[in-house]
Amino acid sequence: MTKWVYNFGDGSAEGEASMKNLLGGKGANLAEMSNLGLPVPPGFTITTEVCTSYYDNDNTYPADLADQVAASIKVIEETVGAKFGDEENPLLVSVRSGARVSMPGMMDTVLNLGLNDVTVKALAKQSGDERFAYDSYRRFIQMYSDVVLGVDHYLFEELLEIHKEENGFTLDTELEAEDWKELSAAFKAKAEDELGRPFPQDVNEQLWGAIDAVFGSWMIERAFVYRRLHNIPHTWGTAVNVQSMVFGNMGDDCATGVAFTRDPSTGENTYYGEYLINAQGEDVVAGIRTPQNLTKASRIAAGSDMPSMEESMPEVYGQLADVFQKLEAHYRDMQDIEFTVQKQKLWILQTRSGKRTAPAALKIAVEMVHDDIISKDEALLRVDPGALDQLLHPTLDPDAARDVLTKGLPASPGAASGKVVFTADEAEILSKNGEDVILVRIETSPEDIHGMHAARGILTSRGGMTSHAAVVARGMGRPCVSGAGSLHINMAEQTITVDGRVINNHDIITIDGGNGEVMAGKVATIKPELGGHFGELMAWADDKRELKVRTNAETPLDASAAREFGAEGIGLCRTEHMFFDATRIINVRQMIMSSDEEGRRAALDKLLPDQRSDFVELFTIMKGLPVTVRLLDPPLHEFLPHKEEDFVDVANAMGVDMAFLKRRAEELHEFNPMLGHRGCRLGISFPEIYEMQARAIIEAALEVSKTLGEAVIPEIMVPLVGSAKELEILKELIIKTADEIIEASGEKLEYMVGTMIELPRAALQAGEIANHAEFFSFGTNDLTQTTYGISRDDSARFLDDYLKADIYDQDPFVSLDQDGVGELVKIGVERGRNTRNDLKVGICGEHGGDPASVEFCHRNGLDYVSCSPYRVPIARLAAAQAVLRK
């Protein structure tokens, strides 16, 4: 016979903490606390297997469940000396849901279950407090009707308000027993009205109604969405906890509260919490009365004159503090605890590892190592790498008011306020005058880079998590909200309309790239503090990890920032970003517009010194660490002039007429540029471009090797290769160029030539390609785009539908699709290394900074990951966790 129900309480339990999968988090911890001898009201847990079975069998329960529940009710009855539904001495219970992990969205709690027209009288008699009994009854009718029967709680509150108004009451505490009696009758009538049948008086019907509601709530939309957002499988199911009631609202020697064993927002090692005298649990959360501080110190700090629990109930507070110590020592983690005091007796209703902010997680983990509570390895696993972002960027002051206009994608973390501007040029002009601006675009393009750099933050109405705006903003460490689709941006009129509100040019807005919110006006921010704990945890991570962590950077600013965050080299320098500088773009345009090699070479000669000096700067900052420079990648038309005056400038510089230029621009137009004339195809068509870039790299490496007195070993990378022959041809060109320069210099210089793997064909042909490549770098942005056949720039529009329909469980541009794209990565690594066993392999798509993808890279033997500077610490910690989880 399967055991579906587990008892707990009274100093022992049938379950324990390790049985979370079966009993849910709440049930397992109630069992564990019972085993520890803590005062836990007796009860039982119906397992998550019942939930799974319920859904597998057309919403029906296992045949023997009812008997097991009845037997467990008996156990509670014997323990507390009361009987469920008894006329004299009734047992009342609470019913709560409890999945493996705490999961908002599901049915939460029903209290006081077991009350009816008869038992309420017994409760009044027993407690000697009729007011308490009928207050409890009306609460039960309201709560049960709301969460189990689906009658809106507002309807009951309305009745209460009317009653108070008619009788001249303002506070609930002014109501007498008679009032609550009258109201509970009115509540019952209201429920009957709404339901078309009487409010259930049978206590067993009440109990099974509540159990049904918990299991039913596992599949409601809210819970479904929550699971999707947090990657919780739908197959886990929830448990149900039925527990005898204890009352915090039986008089002034009663109380209820919530506490943390440390401060969950700062991580400070002090008790933190709130309580209310003469109240039931939901009063603390619902905000009907303002809760009081738990400790005297926090009361004084808050400037409150309402006594703390430490002062008003010193003895019970002392017991509670003992429980805090016991639970934290036992679980070896900060605990979030719910308690009730019934007539000076303390009861513990729940404990769990407390949710905490990123700074608190860091502080608690490191301090627990210092105090010998946990090991360094455990500490590394206690901090969510993704949350480290929060520590590196300014964030919004949590206490500041927010006027939220809309929400887009949290494309690049950090918060920023500034004047709305609609063009990159204006962003640059205003910021030069010392003003903070937010650059607002429908979407950005490489032409906007100078404006993105000048802006405090970037907001777009189109584009996904790997759209140009998102990638570039993350690289620069600029906060960015992308794909905020409900914003209507009118570039001509320079307005944003959202929900009928209009934001004009130069109005101030605030964006939070951490959660995607866009707000009107300025919201105060707080600066990051990179104190000692951060450095300490990072050092432990570095000791543990096997993957190297590099950065994607092309500006000295980004490269230096990345070094500070611990980058061990550059894994991707996108050279095209260097082409957009205002003084260079004219030469770039001249190169593109030339219709022959001679014209292109003339323009490239002008670009050479600038490219060389860029590389000199990067090599100098990286001081001998590896630097991978990628040759030109994007389709040429991205550099084309748009405005009339730009055309005029180019025409003048080239000495050609406008008609010729316009025709040339049209010739370069492509219907599908992402799959068009880009990447190494440019090198095949116009070898002189790659030749110039190879020259710039080698000359810079020679120069810096000399000045540093240390060898710089550049890695020259060819993008978007699909067949071995492409690389063979281009490698020959690169080697010829490089060797001539090196020979002429009379110096020695090592360099490497490798390729990106960004196309499915490249992964499949990796064995042949590796004949010509000394390293591979997986460009998983393009590899995802080309494997799925979905555009990285346009997918935001429909991705949400796919996520909602559970077709994708996450955005494949954010976290590597390990089953599909990941298979290609595995094949690429395996075939590449079969040909060349010392092949160096890395990843430089956005996934290089995503913790789950980093773990994948570790498992599959990559040598390094490369990510934007602000993600370097995330990757360092994720790489350490990957080792610990293996």
Length of the chain: 886
Distance separating the N- and C-terminal Cα atoms of the chain? 37
Whether residue 577 lies in the annotated active site: no
Can you tell me which of 779, 812, 842, 873 binds ligand PEP, judged by CB under 6 A? 779
Using CB under 6 A as the binding rule, the residues of this chain from 585 to 644 that contact ligand PEP are 633
CB closer to Mg ion out of 48 and 785: 785
Cβ 815 to Mg ion shortest distance, Å: 18
Can you tell me which of 691, 782, 793, 817 binds ligand PEP, judged by CB under 6 A? 782
Contact window for Mg ion (CB under 5 A) among 147-155, 487-495, 569-577, 771-779: 771-779
Task: Identify which of 195, 197, 169, 196 has the alpha carbon closest to the alpha carbon of residue 183.
Answer: 169
Using CB under 5 A as the binding rule, the residues of this chain from 734 to 763 that contact Mg ion are 758
Q: Which two tokens stand for residue 751?
A: 């360099």
Task: Identify which of 376, 348, 280 has the alpha carbon closest to the alpha carbon of residue 37.
Answer: 348
Q: Specify the 3-state DSSP secondary structure of 656.
A: coil
Partner from ligand PEP, Mg ion, none binding residue 263, C-beta < 5-8 Å depending on class? none
Q: Spot the catalytic one: 844, 857, 858, 867.
A: 844
Cβ 844 to ligand PEP shortest distance, Å: 5
Cβ 451 to ligand PEP shortest distance, Å: 19
**Residues 377, 381, 385, 387: is their CA dihedral positive or negative?**
negative
Does 781 bind ligand PEP (CB under 6 A)? Our answer is yes
CB closer to Mg ion out of 413 and 779: 779
Cβ 449 to ligand PEP shortest distance, Å: 13
Distances (CA, A) of 513 to 224, 355, 389: 25, 21, 11
Cβ 879 to ligand PEP shortest distance, Å: 19
CB closer to Mg ion out of 248 and 779: 779
Using CB under 6 A as the binding rule, the residues of this chain from 347 to 366 that contact ligand PEP are none
Contact window for ligand PEP (CB under 6 A) among 181-189, 408-416, 530-538, 775-783: 775-783
CA 41/CA 24 separation, integer angstroms: 18
Task: Identify which of 820, 778, 437 has the alpha carbon closest to the alpha carbon of residue 630.
Answer: 778
Pairing of strands 335-342, 345-353: antiparallel
> 3-class secondary structure for 746-784?
CCCCCCEEEEEECCHHHHHCHHHHCCCCCEEEECHHHHH
Question: Given 3-state DSSP classes, what are the helix, strand and coil percentages for the chain, each rounded to the nearest 5?
Answer: 50, 20, 35
Does 558 bind ligand PEP (CB under 6 A)? Our answer is no
Pairing of strands 627-630, 548-552: unpaired
Q: Which two tokens stand for residue 610?
A: 């600038």
- 328-352: string of b/e by CB count within 10 Å (b at 16+)? bebbebbbbbbbbbbeeebbbbbbb
CA 793/CA 466 separation, integer angstroms: 7
CA 824/CA 784 separation, integer angstroms: 10
CB closer to ligand PEP out of 243 and 780: 780
CB closer to Mg ion out of 129 and 633: 633
Cβ 809 to ligand PEP shortest distance, Å: 21
CB closer to Mg ion out of 638 and 782: 782
Using CB under 5 A as the binding rule, the residues of this chain from 776 to 795 that contact Mg ion are 779, 782
CB closer to ligand PEP out of 98 and 635: 635
CA 71/CA 242 separation, integer angstroms: 13
DSSP assigned state of 296: H
Using CB under 6 A as the binding rule, the residues of this chain from 806 to 865 that contact ligand PEP are 844-845
Contact window for ligand PEP (CB under 6 A) among 224-232, 297-305, 739-747, 779-787: 779-787
Q: Specify the 3-state DSSP secondary structure of 871.
A: helix
Whether residue 480 lies in the annotated active site: no
Q: CA-based angle 648:651:652, to the nearest 5?
A: 85
CA 322/CA 326 separation, integer angstroms: 6
Beta-bridge partners for 420: 438
CB closer to Mg ion out of 310 and 758: 758
Beta-bridge partners for 242: 44, 95
Does 574 bind ligand PEP (CB under 6 A)? Our answer is yes
Cβ 665 to ligand PEP shortest distance, Å: 23
Cβ 805 to ligand PEP shortest distance, Å: 26
Distances (CA, A) of 585 to 403, 431, 687: 40, 21, 20
Pairing of strands 480-482, 457-460: parallel
State which residue has the least CB distance to Mg ion: 782
Cβ 464 to ligand PEP shortest distance, Å: 13
CA 611/CA 614 separation, integer angstroms: 5
CB closer to ligand PEP out of 34 and 780: 780
Can you tell me which of 758, 768, 811, 850 binds ligand PEP, judged by CB under 6 A? 758
Does 846 bind Mg ion (CB under 5 A)? Our answer is no
Cβ 795 to ligand PEP shortest distance, Å: 14
Contact window for ligand PEP (CB under 6 A) among 295-303, 528-536, 702-710, 780-788: 780-788
Cβ within 8 Å of residue 444, ≥6 positions away: 452, 458, 460, 463, 467, 468, 469, 472
Does 572 bind ligand PEP (CB under 6 A)? Our answer is yes
Partner from ligand PEP, Mg ion, none binding residue 844, C-beta < 5-8 Å depending on class? ligand PEP
Q: Spot the catalytic one: 51, 393, 453, 468.
A: 468
Can you tell me which of 335, 461, 755, 780 binds ligand PEP, judged by CB under 6 A? 780
Catalytic center residues: 468, 844
Name the site residues for Mg ion (rule: CB under 5 A). Answer: 758, 779, 782
Name the site residues for ligand PEP (rule: CB under 6 A). Answer: 572, 574, 633, 758, 779-782, 844-845
